[in-house]
Amino acid sequence: MTAKWTPKPSLPPPALEKGIGGWIYKNLFSSPGNAVLTLLGAALLLWAVPPVVRWALLDANWIGQSRSACDPLSADAPTGACWVFIKVRLGLFVYGFYPDPERWRVNIIFVVGALALWPLLAPTLFKHSRVQVVYSIAAVAVVLILFGAKPAGAALGFFGLPFLLARISLKKRLPTEAGGIKGIAPGAGLALLGALAVYGGLRWLLGPAPSGAIATLAALLCLPLIFAKPLSVMLWRGIFLFTVYPLFVFFMLVGGVLGLPHVETHYWGGLFLTLVVAGSGMVTALPIGILLALGRRSEMPVIKTLCVSFIEFVRGVPLVSVLFMASVMFPLFLPEDVNVDKLLRALVGITFFYAAYMAEVIRGGLQAIPKGQYEAAQALGWSYWKMMGLIILPQTLRLVIPGLANNFLSLLKDTTLVAVIGLLDLLGIAKAAMADVEWLGFTKEAYVFAAAVFWTFCFGLSRYSVHLEKKYHVRYR
Amino acid sequence: MPTHTDPSSTDSPKIIVISHLNKWFGEFHVLKDINLAVDKGEKLVICGPSGSGKSTLIRCINRLEKHQQGQIIVDGIELTNDVKHIDQVRREVGMLFQNFNLFPHMTVLENLTLSPVWIRKMPLKEARELAFHYLERVKIPELADKYPGQCSGGQQQRVAIARCLCMNPKVMLFDEPTSALDPEMIKEVLDVMIDLANSGMTMLCVTHEMGFARTVADRVVFMDGGEIVEENDPENFFNHPQSERTVLFLSQIISHEFKG
Ligand SMILES: Nc1ncnc2c1ncn2[C@@H]1O[C@H](COP(=O)(O)OP(=O)(O)OP(=O)(O)O)[C@@H](O)[C@H]1O
Ligand SMILES: [Mg+2]
């Protein structure tokens, strides 16, 4: 005989578990210890927050154009922060000593950079090609409104070419069935010819230096066209961001071409220098870090030794001394007449320094990938680089997002160290501004402003890394 | 759709020839003078106690392990240090692993299409069609957009089989494909393997599924201590084992099967 089984009815949870009261009880006062901690925390907040808010917001002085607005000697002067100082000196904080009439050049690189970066950071929003097209038109319009026709023409090329290139495959056009060198030779030849034509065309427009660079770039951009299949628009956007955009930034900021006056790098400074150093540091350190990590795990003893010694050397010295070496020692090894720009030397120093750290983070991730993944890939016939690029590294990078985010954040903040070799980043400029005799006594405001700007960028970066983590960890293992 | 038997290359019936194979892990002599030849379309089951070198032997066939002495020829290509030869052999030989080794960051469909597209340069559309063809064959087309982590073990192993088949191999190696699975799932994987065997695929299986060996195998190879102790057709292997060692092994396996 089997007994009949009826399930027990589901009851509602006890009242204490529900509602705001339940939440407060459960999370804040569930035990005497918890209650004490809650009260202590509340007291701490009450003690610390109001004065800060009063100083920074309520009692602060926002109005005025000069020092007299916040003069502590005048009777009606507010007792809080003097944001007039920041307002008046904002140009200095953002652009450093970059000459006033040329500051639009800094603006344009930021506007174009932000417009180009957005689709790559939020690819799900830009899945449909129609959205992409509309966005690109909007981007060109933004540049047109802000900066005029000529820059808009350049922007049209920058945002439009990815669509065109994404439809072209030289290998399909040129009937070459051959693989290897023979297969890519016609395409490569055509690319070379194209590059020469670009060079010839640009030479009398721009002068030899930029034409050479642009032609080389054009040739490089032709390389992906030799693949049998066209690459996607998104991929081309990425390629453009990492090849065309840096070149654009370089010629835009340095000038000396197309009638743009030359601006030496020692005029650069402020937030924009911080972002240039941090941005170029991040995008170059990561790939170098990946290569170093792979090299360290390589079975080839020479490569392995080189990578290990590089990493261990760099990790053993402080960044400040790397920067000093880059700025003071490095020129000693060069011939007298060769002069590498100080900013460039600092950039190289920071890049390699952080590449070493990222390499170790990535190596940690590589070690977490089971051996079976390599074996499965090899058994399917994958070669080393393809296997790494499509199977192992995508998994590794997903695993090490938190570690890499850490590195990126400290890189961003360590850009302040370029001050030791005389480059004035945001913090350096803030210090310089405090020393201004006209504005003595406003150090607090300057430091708080610099801190707030850094915090904003770091927090954004940190949220983005959390977003990536979430995006890649759903459904995954 | 591709077929597995290619009539144009039937000139030599032996698809794998292993002669005087020796391998060491450091000082340890894992494989001792192995001689083995496998016909096209033959189903070989390799069994033996743990540590006898079964995995090592089949991993030598697609060069996941490097041998030090002797010769391995797969479909007329000798395995040496020459990377080109290794690549060619790996294209002909598919392998299944005990723990599936699907790529966890891709969907099932991507797992299946990735290799044809990148290694065989197949257009994506064609690769997808092929992938669905084989997913249907292993009876799980509905899993195409799932991630491996969302599939059961048996489903994952069937996806792995489909992934192999998408590369159109001539030989398939199985290294204990069912030993990480629950009993109910073992059957679904074995069914697929039997179906594959009936289609004429050359198969080398390391397995302890004696039922599978009895029904499918053309030949059973028994290994112990890095040597081939005995090889015979299943009928004689199970009913009239020649060596004392085989008798002992079979008695253990069979008593275990009865208990389980
Ligand atoms: N990479 C290695 N380095 C050193 N020794 C190894 C290595 N791989 C396997 N061995 C040893 O070689 C022997 C044979 O291993 P193998 O994996 O081929 O055995 P097996 O017959 O497949 O056993 P099992 O049934 O447990 O899978 C074992 O003693 C094992 O410890
Ligand atoms: Mg084994």
Q: What is the pLDDT of residues A352-382, one digit of tens each?
A: 999 999 999 999 999 999 999 999 999 999 9
Ligand 2 is an ion; residues with CB less than 5 A from it: B 55
Under the banding of pLDDT at 50, 70 and 90, the label for residue A74 is low
C-alpha dist (Å) from residue A467 to A267, A358, A464, A476: 37, 20, 5, 15
Cα B93 to middle of ligand 1, angstroms: 21
Q: What is the pLDDT along chain B (260 residues), one digit of tens a residue?
A: 444 444 444 455 789 999 999 999 999 999 999 999 999 999 999 999 999 999 999 999 999 999 999 999 999 899 988 888 999 999 999 999 999 999 999 999 999 999 998 888 888 899 999 999 999 999 999 999 999 999 999 999 999 999 999 999 999 999 999 998 988 889 999 999 999 999 999 999 999 888 899 989 999 999 999 999 999 999 999 988 888 899 999 888 876 665 44
**What is the CB neighbour count within 10 angstroms for residue A408?**
22
Q: What is the pLDDT of residue A123?
A: 81
**Angle, CA of A180, A394 and B163, to the nearest 5°:** 70
Q: Which residue of A has its CA nearest to B86?
A: A381
Q: Is B41 in the pocket of ligand 1 (CB under 6 A)?
A: no
Q: Is the pLDDT of residue A288 over 80?
A: yes
Buried/exposed B120-149: b ≥16 CB within 10 Å, e otherwise: eebeeeebbebbbbbbebbebbebbebbbe
A30 vs A349, residue with greater confidence: A349
C-alpha dist (Å) from residue B166 to A386, B77, B116, B129, B151: 18, 22, 7, 10, 19
> Any CB–CB contact under 8 A between A180 and chain B?
no
Helix (H/G/I), strand (E/B), else coil: B14: strand
Cα B54 to middle of ligand 2, angstroms: 6
Q: What is the 3-state secondary structure (H, E, C) of chain A?
A: CCCCCCCCCCCCCCHHHCHHHHHHHHHHCCCHHHHHHHHHHHHHHHHHHHHHHHHHHHCCECCCCCHHHHCCCCCCCCCCCEHHHHHHCHHHHHHCCCCHHHHHHHHHHHHHHHHHHHHHHCHHHHCCHHHHHHHHHHHHHHHHHHHCHHHHHHHHHHHHHHHHHCCCCHHHHCCCCCCHHHHHHHHHHHHHHHHHHHHHHHHHHHCHHHHHHHHHHHHHHHHHHHCCCCCCHHHHHHHHHHHHHHHHHHHHHHCCCCCCCCCCHHHCEHHHHHHHHHHHHHHHHHHHHHHHHHHHCCCCHHHHHHHHHHHHHHHCCCHHHHHHHHHHHHHHHCCCCCCCCHHHHHHHHHHHHHHHHHHHHHHHHHHHCCHHHHHHHHHCCCCHHHHHHHHHHHHHHHHCHHHHHHHHHHHHHHHHHHHHHCCEEHHHHHHHHHCCHHHCCCHHHHHHHHHHHHHHHHHHHHHHHHHHHHHHHCCCC
Under the banding of pLDDT at 50, 70 and 90, the label for residue A128 is confident
- CA dist A7 and A258 (Å) reads 82
Q: Which residue of A has its CA nearest to B114?
A: A390
A433 vs A306, residue with greater confidence: A306
C-alpha B71, offset from chain centre: 20
> Any CB–CB contact under 8 A between A391 and chain B?
yes
Q: Are strands B77-78 and B93-96 parallel, antiparallel or unpaired?
A: unpaired
For residue B176, which atom of ligand 1 is closest to its CA? 27
Q: Is B55 in the pocket of ligand 1 (CB under 6 A)?
A: yes
Q: Is the pLDDT of residue A76 over 70?
A: no
Buried/exposed B13-22: b ≥16 CB within 10 Å, e otherwise: eebbbbeebe
Q: What is the pLDDT of residue A73?
A: 62
Q: What is the pLDDT of residue A50?
A: 86
Q: What is the residue with the minimal CA distance to atom 25 of ligand 1?
A: B50
Answer yes or no: are the C-beta atoms of B148 and B103 closer than 8 Å.
yes
Q: What is the pLDDT of residue B260?
A: 43
A413 exposure class (CB count in 10 Å sphere: 0-12, 13-18, 19+): middle
For residue B49, which atom of ligand 1 is closest to its CA? 25
A77 vs A330, residue with greater confidence: A330
Q: Is the pLDDT of residue A17 over 70?
A: no
The residue-averaged pLDDT of A284-301 equals 93
A79 vs B61, residue with greater confidence: B61
The residue-averaged pLDDT of A213-221 equals 76
- CA dist A279 and A267 (Å) reads 19
Q: Is B118 in the pocket of ligand 1 (CB under 6 A)?
A: no
| CATH architecture classification, A268-477 | Orthogonal Bundle (1.10)
Q: Is B128 in the pocket of ligand 1 (CB under 6 A)?
A: no
Q: Which residue of A has its CA nearest to B115?
A: A380
Structure tokens at A263: 């601006």
Q: What is the pLDDT of residue A144?
A: 87
Q: How many residues does chain A have?
A: 477
Residue with tokens 């005048």: A74
Rg over CA atoms, chain B: 18
Under the banding of pLDDT at 50, 70 and 90, the label for residue A15 is low
| The amino acid at A318 | P
For residue B28, which atom of ligand 1 is closest to its CA? 5
When the pLDDT of each residue in chain A is averaged and rounded to a whole number, the result is 83
pLDDT tens-place string over residues A185-212: 766 777 777 777 777 777 776 667 777 7
Q: Is B54 in the pocket of ligand 1 (CB under 6 A)?
A: yes
Contacts of B163 in chain A (CB under 8 A): 380
- CA dist A210 and A252 (Å) reads 11
Q: Is B52 in the pocket of ligand 1 (CB under 6 A)?
A: yes
Q: What is the pLDDT of residue A226?
A: 67
Extents of the domains making up chain A:
32-84, 100-174+181-262, 268-477
Q: What is the pLDDT of residue B2?
A: 43
Answer yes or no: are the C-beta atoms of B135 and B143 closer than 8 Å.
yes
Answer yes or no: are the C-beta atoms of B72 and B18 closer than 8 Å.
yes
- CA dist B248 and B252 (Å) reads 6
Structure tokens at A12: 């509602």
Q: What is the residue with the minimal CA distance to atom 4 of ligand 1?
A: B25
Q: What is the pLDDT of residue A197?
A: 78
Q: What is the residue with the minimal CA distance to atom 10 of ligand 1?
A: B25
Residue with tokens 């450091």: B26
Under the banding of pLDDT at 50, 70 and 90, the label for residue A465 is very high
Structure tokens at A155: 């922007």
Helix (H/G/I), strand (E/B), else coil: B3: coil
Contacts of A378 in chain B (CB under 8 A): 62, 64, 90
**B238 contact partners, CB below 8 Å, separation of at least 6:** B210, B213, B214, B220, B250
Residue with tokens 């972002």: A275
Q: What is the residue with the minimal CA distance to atom 18 of ligand 1?
A: B53
Q: What is the pLDDT of residue A45?
A: 92
Answer yes or no: are the C-beta atoms of A156 and A140 closer than 8 Å.
yes
> Any CB–CB contact under 8 A between A372 and chain B?
yes
The residue-averaged pLDDT of A464-472 equals 88
pLDDT tens-place string over residues A88-99: 788 888 888 888
> Any CB–CB contact under 8 A between A468 and chain B?
no
Q: What is the pLDDT of residue A66?
A: 73
Q: Is the pLDDT of residue A254 over 50?
A: yes
Ligand 1 pocket test, candidate residues B55, B58, B252, most atoms within 8 A of CB: B55
Q: What is the pLDDT of residue A170?
A: 62
- CA dist A278 and A264 (Å) reads 19
**A3 contact partners, CB below 8 Å, separation of at least 6:** none
Determine which of A171, A226, A380, A476 to mutate to test the interface with B (most B C-beta atoms within 10 Å). A380
